[in-house]
Chains A and B, each alone.
Chain A
Amino acid sequence: MSLQQSTSQTFGPYFHIGLKPIAVRLPAGAKPVVITGRVLDGDGKPVSDAAIETWQADLTGAYPVPSTDGSYPATSTLAGLGRVPTDAEGRFRIDTYLPGCVAAPGGGLQAPHILVAIGMRGLLKHLVTRIYFPGEAANADDPVLKLVPADRRDTLIARGASGELQWDVVLQGAGETVFFDC
Chain B
Amino acid sequence: MIEVYRRSMQGTQPEYRFPPYGSTAKRAPTKLLVMLPHTLSETTGPVFGHDSVKAREFDLTAGHADLPLGKRIVVSGRVLDDGGKPVRHTLVEIWQANSAGRYRHPNDGPHSPLDPNFTGCGRAMTDAEGRYRFVTIEPGAYPWRNHYNAWRPKHIHFSLWGEAFTQRLVTQMYFPGDPLLPFDPIFNCVTDTKARDRLVSSLDWEATIPESAIGYRFDIVLRGRHATPVER
Residues of chain A having any CB pair with chain B under 8 Å:
1-20, 41-43, 45, 47, 49, 53, 55-57, 63-66, 70, 72-78, 80-81, 102-106, 110, 113, 115, 117, 119-128, 143-144, 147-148, 152, 171-173, 176-182
Contacts and interface: CB of A to CB of B under 8 A. Distances in A.
A103 B2 CA distance: 13
Most chain-B CB neighbours within 10 Å: which of A45, A65, A125, A176? A125
A17 B60 CA distance: 12
Contact of A47 (B27, B28, B46, B105): B27
B93 to A, nearest CB: 5
Contacts of A5: 8-9, 12-13, 82, 221-223
Contact of B165 (A19, A102, A117, A147): A117
Interface of B: 2, 7-9, 12-16, 18, 21, 23-31, 33-42, 44-52, 80-84, 88-89, 93-95, 103-105, 107-108, 119-122, 125, 128, 157, 159, 163, 165-166, 168-172, 186-187, 189-190, 192, 194-196, 198-199, 220-223
The A interface is mostly helix, strand or loop, or mixed, namely: loop
Given A8-B171, A15-B95, A18-B94, A123 B27 contact: yes
The B interface is mostly helix, strand or loop, or mixed, namely: loop
Given A8-B171, A123-B16, A172-B29, A17 B121 contact: yes
Nearest to B12: A5
A54 to B, nearest CB: 10
Contacts of B13: 5, 7-8, 125
A9 B49 contact: no
A66 B47 contact: yes
B221 to A, nearest CB: 5
Nearest to A50: B27
Contact of B36 (A3, A125, A144, A171): A144
